[in-house]
Amino acid sequence: MTSPLKDRLIAKIKAEGPLTIAEYMTICLLDPVHGYYPTRDPLGSDGDFITAPEISQMFGEVIGLWCIQTWQDMGRPATVQLIELGPGRGIMMSDILRAAKLDKDFLEAVNVTLVEASPALEAVQGKTLGGTPCPINWAHSLEKAPTGPAIIIGNEFLDCLPIRQFIQKDRFAGRAGWQERMVALEDDALRFGISPAAISESLQAILPEAQEDAKNDELLEVCPASAQIIDQLKQRFETDRGRALFIDYGPAETEFGDTLQALKRHDKVGVFSDPGNTDLTARVDFGALIELAKAVDLSVTNAVPQREFLSKLGLEMRAIALSRAKPESKEKIARQLHRLTGTDEMGELFKAICFQSDNLDLPLGFRDMA
Ligand code: SAH
């Protein structure tokens, strides 16, 4: 199957040589003309994938309670920047703000900023959040969001940030044995290839600690964009109080292996099958995020399974209350609860992690700081 973006990618590689996986992901996901996110609303049962806030209103509601608690932990600042990264259709923010009505003072303090790369989704967010009681603004990056005390959240945001992949080709050479997996051409078709030489020392330095244990042909993924976010959080929390909560899928500790995947209509498809028309994500390496935070001395929790996090936020109670209010939906609510927390569903695979400014206690829902 051919697509305008596939043709453009092939022409680009012919002219300029192989692309890193990160370059390939960035073009596929964010190209303004043919990229995946800018040209569609990919979410929901009619779309390509479904996320926790799309499964149930309860998810955003308990995150709303977490936000109120965080604002109280921060000393109830008169203005708090509530910043969401990658807000999708704006459903989670709308559920957060509904739950926030429980504390009128919090709601009055809130100024919402949505960081969204897709004009198509920005329009959907505007519609979803049209009737909300607090000001809603958009920014192109976390750095451009307003300063001041902040609560930053991102659900299934980190998994769509571009990754690079490295393969250990000669473990006796140690760090000098790593080569980069690339997107190349074979008979004019997109294929994985490998950089001819070992990667530079500056790239070796961004590999997580697990690199030391790699056998030949083992693969490590690195997400430079999430490292940048950690640097930005560090800078921000030097001066502004706040917390940043991320929920995503991935292991609590670094694991080897290729996790780049493409989804179309809820099914896995080949990552080169239809560039620009399939969602591309990779597992989030929570172990590496913790290493990065520690390296810049940013306070961070250990990652906890979504099941445990949501349960500590009172998800089951919320399900019981909702079922009482809508007895006809009792079974549906039980199914939603299971999808969010079942160990065979999102409960174990998905994790929550929180970064914060110094002098704040352990955030609600977490077991310990890392
Ligand atoms: N949080 C939502 C949507 C997840 S999909 C939910 O849980 O339903 C990923 C979201 O991140 C989309 O809104 C996508 O357009 C946005 N996104 C992807 N890359 C981005 C980037 N580099 N900067 C800002 N937003 C991005």
| Averaged confidence pLDDT in the chain | 96
Say whether pLDDT at 1 is over 70: no
> Do the Cβ atoms of 112 and 183 come closer than 8 Å?
no
Nearest CA to ligand 1 atom 16: 86
Residue 351 confidence class, pLDDT cut points 50, 70, 90: very high
Output the CA 170–ligand 1 centroid distance in Å.
37
Mutate-to-test residue for ligand 1 from 160, 229, 306, highest number of ligand atoms within 8 A of CB: 160
Q: Is residue 189 part of a domain?
A: no
Give the largest Cα separation in the chain, rounded: 64
Tell whether pTM > 0.95.
yes
Say whether pLDDT at 2 is over 70: no
Q: Is residue 184 part of a domain?
A: no
Range of the domain at 73: 52-161+223-250+285-356
Q: Is residue 16 part of a domain?
A: no
- The tokens describing 10, both together, are 């092939």
Instruction: Work out which ligand 1 atom sits closest to the CA atom of 54.
Output: 8
Q: Is residue 275 part of a domain?
A: no
We report the CATH number of the domain holding residue 240 as: 3.40.50.150
- The tokens describing 103, both together, are 């504390």
Spell out the alpha helix ranges (H) of the chain: 4-16, 21-30, 52-55, 57-73, 91-99, 104-109, 119-128, 201-204, 224-239, 286-295, 306-312, 315-325, 330-341, 346-349
Residue 45 confidence class, pLDDT cut points 50, 70, 90: confident
Nearest CA to ligand 1 atom 2: 88
Q: How far apart are CA 136 and CA 123, in angstroms?
A: 13
pLDDT of residue 3: 81
Q: Is residue 351 part of a domain?
A: yes
Output the CA 323–ligand 1 centroid distance in Å.
31
Q: Is residue 365 part of a domain?
A: no
Output the CA 26–ligand 1 centroid distance in Å.
13
pLDDT of residue 187: 95
Q: Is residue 81 part of a domain?
A: yes
Instruction: Work out which ligand 1 atom sits closest to the CA atom of 43.
Output: 8
Our count of domains for the chain comes to 1
Residue 44 confidence class, pLDDT cut points 50, 70, 90: confident
Which amino acid, one-letter code, is at 25? M
The pLDDT tens digits of the residues spanning 301-339 come to: 999 999 999 999 999 999 999 999 999 999 999 999 999
pLDDT of residue 26: 98
Q: Is residue 31 part of a domain?
A: no
